[in-house]
Chains A and B, each alone.
Chain A
């Protein structure tokens, strides 16, 4: 009994600093977002009071355009990364060369984290207005601009593709040879095997991977900020702008309302992703 109490006490003591830290470093900002989003800012005409107008503003006009732009960019680049990442992951996982496999996986680990500033500059050097490919291939004359929606898609793929490979490779490896053979043994053709076994088994991982990629693209800020400034309207750049004071007087708290929008989307992503991941882990473990 005593030792049980002691160990429980010890467990509590060991966990307490983490909880305390999260309460301060995560809880306080969360409270600030939640309260700020629903109050007028300090410099507003009528003083500080509760309001829904920040939230209303955050889904109208230029902000709505930015929200829509973020959703479009994330949905499209995540879709492309999924469609291209699966064959790539399949090629890697079915490779007989262990060295190639390990090399690609660790390269993916680095490249998936290569988002942000260095990535932006690498693409500026490659496909920007004075970029090596742009000048050597005369892309500008053909209407190419890196600082556009499609330019961002090309750049985002650079970290989304490796991310997809990292996410889906374990699932592809989890597909058992026994399933293919059992399907064949039960009279399934190769096509029927993919249609009725492999794809349904992979579906949670694919969908989960897609949602995760969407979330990553949606939350990304640095890449776009360093590359295109705000020439492509994105929700993250709107928040950054609003934080830097580029808003009308009295609308300082709109940034917080926009943050609530982001949290809602990110929360929805996790709410879809986590159960899918659980199911896939159960099937493919």
Chain B
């Protein structure tokens, strides 16, 4: 089952929720829609579920336009943010709700519900009511309910955002395992980049109703194609530099090649991840360590450069001993192409 968004536009009054979204989710993959709130990711998902109608553009499932199919006839199971279980029904009845709507017999409903609750790891909770279950358990039941009608697509609308950190990690691994087991095409909306990177096959970063970049987690992290993606995914330093216009940039006294748009010239921000920044203790260095935070294998240094710019650098903890707060240091970058952005005037 392939899902395709084609040139989707949607406005709510004066706000543009989608401004020409093009995106494809392939058969059996878990595609995460990632972006800040208001970027249109939820609107896109709700269009796929049939809760919103696009102003223009198409939603295609296996090449077929489903824009006119009403929500209750779409083959898409959805898990909502939280508290979407019907409060007057037990876990089993919640799971079997869709089957009841389709007039499936009671015996078959029961066995199917039991099977699904088993699948999400709650076989003994069939007779519990939602208010008798924890948030994580409720979302597992919601997942079972979404799968009850054997949908061709699974839609997840920030299903973990209301849960505790520990449960969140557990459940996202569980979702990933189930999704791979069932090989079901899944669209997963989240604003949590760690969640997206750790579960998805591909991550689509959205901004202002458009797609910024869609790629595998590693590619997205290592070679973000735009400054927005670079800063939204992971931590990013901005160092002042000067681009020459011929594809190189001068930063921290080094000359490095520019990745992507080589034509930029003049004052730029050079974008580098903390783990790509190296700092060494140096009595004559112009930079000064202002804070350190121990993270196990690495230690994150906060370093103030001579011009006042603050840089974060992750260095192996065994090398951090001479770099306590107040120490002088020299900051260098590896000889690799870097991403630049013209500095806002």
Residue positions of A touching B, CB distance < 8 A: 176, 178-179, 181-189, 192, 196-197, 200-201, 203, 282-284
State the majority secondary structure of interface residues on A.
helix
Q: Is the CB of A186 within 8 A of B145?
A: yes
Whether B87 sits at the interface, judged by CB under 8 Å, is yes
In the complex, the 5 A-B pairs of residues with the closest C-beta atoms, listed nearest first: A186-B98, A178-B84, A283-B87, A184-B71, A187-B101
Q: Is the CB of B72 within 8 A of A189?
A: yes
Q: Is the CB of B51 within 8 A of A184?
A: yes
Q: How far does the alpha carbon of A278 sit from the alpha carbon of B307 in the complex, in Å?
A: 64
Q: Is the CB of B88 within 8 A of A185?
A: no
Q: Is the CB of A178 within 8 A of B81?
A: yes
Q: Mark B24-57, 1 if CB is under 8 A from A, else 0.
A: 0000000000000000000000000111000000
Q: Mark B138-158, 1 if CB is under 8 A from A, else 0.
A: 000010011011000000000
Q: Mark B192-216, 1 if CB is under 8 A from A, else 0.
A: 0000000000000000000000000
Q: How far does the alpha carbon of A279 sit from the alpha carbon of B211 in the complex, in Å?
A: 46
- 6 A–B pairs (Cβ distance < 8 Å), ordered by A: A178-B80, A182-B78, A182-B85, A185-B77, A186-B148, A187-B102
Q: How far does the alpha carbon of A186 sit from the alpha carbon of B147 in the complex, in Å?
A: 10
Give the distance to chain A from B10, nearest Cβ to Cβ, in Å.
17
Q: Is the CB of A181 within 8 A of B80?
A: yes
Q: Is the CB of A178 within 8 A of B149?
A: no
Whether B319 sits at the interface, judged by CB under 8 Å, is no
Residues of A within 8 A of B49 (CB): 181, 185
Whether B100 sits at the interface, judged by CB under 8 Å, is yes
Residues of B within 8 A of A197 (CB): 86, 88
Residues of B within 8 A of A200 (CB): 88
Q: Is the CB of A201 within 8 A of B51?
A: no
A176-B83, A176-B84, A282-B131 given; A188·B78 CB < 8 A = no
Give the distance to chain A from B108, nearest Cβ to Cβ, in Å.
15
Q: Is the CB of A181 within 8 A of B87?
A: no
Q: How far does the alpha carbon of A200 sit from the alpha carbon of B98 in the complex, in Å?
A: 16
Residues of B within 8 A of A196 (CB): 97, 100-101
Q: Mark B62-90, 1 if CB is under 8 A from A, else 0.
A: 00000000011110111011011111100
Instruction: Give the contacting residue for B80; candidates A182, A188, A192, A201; CB below 8 A.
Output: A182
Residue of B nearest to A182 (CB): B84
Enumerate B75-125 residues with CB–CB distance to A below 8 Å.
76-78, 80-81, 83-88, 97-98, 100-102
Identify the interface centre among B73, B80, B102, B148: most chain A CB within 10 Å of its CB: B80
Q: Is the CB of A186 within 8 A of B80?
A: no
Give the distance to chain B from A211, nearest Cβ to Cβ, in Å.
19
Instruction: Give the contacting residue for B149; candidates A176, A187, A282; CB below 8 A.
Output: A187
Q: How far does the alpha carbon of A186 sit from the alpha carbon of B72 in the complex, in Å?
A: 6
Q: Is the CB of B101 within 8 A of A178?
A: no
A196-B101, A283-B131 given; A185·B83 CB < 8 A = no
